[in-house]
Amino acid sequence: MSTEYSVLRLVAGSKFIDFLGENFHFVSWAPSVARRRDTMTGGYASYEDTVERIRFNVSGNTAQEIRGLLLEIMAMLEQADGWALGDDVDPVLIETQVQGSTEPHPLRAMVLGRAGQNDSLLNLPMNFHDRLAIFEVEGAEIIFRRSGLWLGEEMKGVSTVGTTPSIMTVNMGEELHSLAPTRLAFKGFGGSTELIGDGFVLLTGVPVHSTFGANFAVYGSGSMASSEFSAVDDSAKLAYDSYVMRIDANSYQTGRITISGVNANVSKLQIFVALRNNSSSTAWEIRALSTGYVTDVTGWVKVGAEKQTPFIRHIGLLANQTGTHTNIELEVKTSESAGTLDIGHLVVFPLDPNARHLILEGRNYSDAAFARNLVIDPRPLTHNVPVVYIETA
Amino acid sequence: MPVIVGYQGYVPPSGSNLTVSFNVQNPDSIILVFPCMQYAAVGEISFSINNVTIDGTSITRRKSLSGSSENRYIVHELWTARGVSPGTRTINVNLSNYVVDSRTIYVVEVAQLEGNPIAQIVDLNVHSKNVYKSVNTAYIDSLWIGCVRVSDGNNTLAPVGGATELLEMSTSSKQSGQVTGLYMKSGPGTYDFGAQSARSYSNSTMIGIELIGAIAPAVAEGAPALVAVPVYGTADLTPEAAVAMGEGMPPEILLGSVPATQVIWQGNAYLTTRAEVLSAMLLATGDDKWVLPTDAGAPEEFCVEISRRKAFLIPQ
């Protein structure tokens, strides 16, 4: 028996195959190391699945017992294969821990069945018939695909309380070497709060503050300057700075808003804007610009006249290879000569390897009158797809 | 579905520290510890359980029953722990009095749980031979674990109603001792849960705990069309109204009793991070407001909880 691992086993619910146990004897295993996934559409995790081969011996008191043990391990791998194909069975995990590990629990990865379409899950040795007769089969081997990361102890942090569109910061206690599946739970919605209008979930690891300004920030009318837009009191509708910036197509068919001194020191920014088209017939277009020493511009985004209540629009990506963004501007245009457009607030969202944004479709998810949480859960050890859901608190 | 992966009854030697060994198998399971103690002496000398630890770490007391009569003093409790590492663990029950003369400790490990698995805890403390209680649950994946103790060591306990299954039973060697039993029942319904003895002295007690598995939202890829459908009564159903309507609801609305509602989204919801400090934002509007409002029209207040497992590319 190896002394290098204190745990090496396959687990499915309450069943397990222990390679360091009485009947299965671990012989050798060269753990494979996953590589970064190079497509965002071909899977969910940041690392590719990888293939493992574990060689082991099986011993027992009778040949029948050994055949039964081999059937057990085969059944568990078949279960993993079936789970990956969509069967309604428990997932199978591989758990391991090396001797002297500082991790409090064994690390776990999902077993995803056969390595390739035509590959076997279990290989038996050429002298299987001889070894069976002496109740010990040497050199059996399992080959399977597993999820790329080994997952361990769960770390958790909670932000202070805020309102939309607050930036909520959480210290996770330590930086990890690899991109790890991350679960978000927005907590504390009242039982009578209608969830939600239009929404985005934003997550980044970029520090909120830059050297001379902000990387991640919300800007309201108080930070906006314009010759064509004017400030209008909309505190009754909970405008971010109490006022919104309004342009009237009767006077201006084009207009520009400037937010000076953003001074974000990241290369890539996403721009999100809270808008309200007060006309049911006039459509507008909007784009964002990064200005200063160099200029970068997003494409035009249409603002339709379908609704006259506030909503969030993703304007686009501003990429500046110098690594800084001095000012952010918004430009709007319309071909009509009537109707007004309001800008409530603008969010500058910096990108790094941790950054992701998610669109939540606006509708009332509030059928139950209980306090609720909004959860974005990757479910890396239980399911093969993530899910976004609202649960009772 | 919660699954019992191990259970054991122990009768440790007398002392202030009652120590038992239990082999934990699953790091994500819940460990239930039921100490059942009786001190039979003229004058009904009281005692208590100071603490229960697993490998020196204190665990959580969920329920405590005690009482005295017929020259006996009894203590019956339920303690629980989560996240106990697999392996042989030492469970220690620390008593305020070392002369407790009937000592049984049941330990149960239940796996296949997520989040908070405790749906409800019921208890009974009566001077009767009938030590069972009507319980109800709407959970499909419900598992009841119960521990009964009766002050009469010469008798046995019999499960009631055909619903409860006996896992383990222990009787004290002393005539004045106690008989204890560990029971289970799985699945939804309304039924009598517990046991009865031929006779009893002093207080008879029962503690039952209902464990549930994950409240699993429907699995679908991308943006499936699954709309909110709470299934247990209307959204404004009060506990009293539910009982009056004969909905079969328990007398309190249980946390997590409403199925999760899947939100329709676009994008890759498999968020991955490695930074020490993360910043999140819910950027949303509601009704005719620029922010997400309460129904009273004020900005809704909330926080974000971020959790992630430590991740490695090579075994540790």
- Residue B34 tokens, joined: 């039921």
Give A367's pLDDT tier (boundaries 50, 70, 90): low
Comparing CB atoms, the residue among A192, A196, A392 nearest residue B284 is: A196
Q: Which residues of B touch A385 (CB under 8 A)?
A: 219-221
Q: Percent of chain A scored above 90 by pLDDT?
A: 72
Q: How many residues does chain B have?
A: 316
Given an 8 Å threshold on Cβ–Cβ distance, is A199 in contact with B25? no
Residue A96, H or E segment: strand A92-98
Segment B79-89, tens digit of pLDDT: 998 878 888 99
- Residue B231 tokens, joined: 């299934």
Quote the distance between the C-alpha of residue B251 and its chain's center: 18
Question: Looking at residues A148-154, what average pLDDT do you find?
Answer: 93
For residue B104, give the 3-state DSSP assignment. Answer: strand
Segment A225-247, tens digit of pLDDT: 999 999 999 999 999 999 999 99
B137 Cα to chain A: minimum distance (Å): 18
pLDDT of residue B196: 83
- For A279-283, A322-326, B89-93, which range has the lowest pLDDT when averaged over its residues? A322-326
Comparing CB atoms, the residue among B288, B290, B310 nearest residue A153 is: B310
The residue of chain B nearest to residue A105, with distances taken between CA atoms, is B85
Q: Are B308 and B302 spatial neighbours (Cβ–Cβ below 8 Å)? A: no
* pLDDT over 60 (residue A199): yes
* pLDDT over 90 (residue A185): yes
Residues 183-242 of B with CB under 8 A from A: 214-215, 217-221, 223, 228-230, 235-236
The residues, any chain, with a CB within 8 Å of residue A102's CB and separated by 6 or more, are B316
User: By the CB < 8 Å criterion, does B257 face chain A?
Assistant: yes
Strands A230-233 and A243-248: antiparallel
pLDDT tens for the 316 residues of chain B, in order: 788 888 888 888 888 899 999 999 887 789 999 999 988 876 667 899 999 999 888 888 889 999 888 788 899 999 998 878 888 999 999 999 887 888 899 999 998 876 667 878 899 999 888 888 888 765 667 888 999 998 876 677 877 766 677 777 777 655 567 888 888 888 777 788 888 887 777 889 999 998 887 443 322 233 322 222 223 333 343 434 433 333 333 333 333 445 678 888 888 899 999 999 999 999 999 889 999 998 888 999 999 999 999 999 999 9
Q: Which residues of A touch B274 (CB under 8 A)?
A: 175-180, 205, 353-354
User: By the CB < 8 Å criterion, does B246 face chain A?
Assistant: no
pTM for the full predicted model:
0.65
CA separation for the pair A170, B263 (Å, rounded): 24
Residue tagged 């997952």 (tokens): A151
ipTM of this predicted complex? 0.93
Comparing CB atoms, the residue among A104, A168, A378 nearest residue B270 is: A378
Report the side by side order of strands in the sheet with B179-186: B118-126, B201-212, B142-151, B179-186, B165-171
* pLDDT over 70 (residue A356): yes
> Which residue of A10, A176, A346 is the best one to mutate when testing the B interface, meaning the one whose CB has the most B CBs within 10 A?
A176
B112 Cα to chain A: minimum distance (Å): 6
CA separation for the pair A9, A24 (Å, rounded): 10
The residue of chain B nearest to residue A308, with distances taken between CA atoms, is B288
- Residue A276 tokens, joined: 């309200």
User: By the CB < 8 Å criterion, does B57 face chain A?
Assistant: no
The residue of chain A nearest to residue B238, with distances taken between CA atoms, is A369
pLDDT of residue A68: 94
CA separation for the pair B88, B85 (Å, rounded): 9
pLDDT of residue A125: 92
Given an 8 Å threshold on Cβ–Cβ distance, is A359 in contact with B266? yes
Strands A150-158 and A311-319: unpaired
pLDDT of residue A392: 77
The residue of chain A nearest to residue B308, with distances taken between CA atoms, is A182
Question: Looking at residues A116-142, what average pLDDT do you find?
Answer: 90
- Max CA separation in chain A (angstroms): 95
CA dihedral B305, B310, B313, B316 (to 10 degrees): -170
CA separation for the pair A245, A343 (Å, rounded): 5
* pLDDT over 80 (residue A89): yes
pLDDT of residue A196: 81
Q: Which residues of A touch B297 (CB under 8 A)?
A: 238
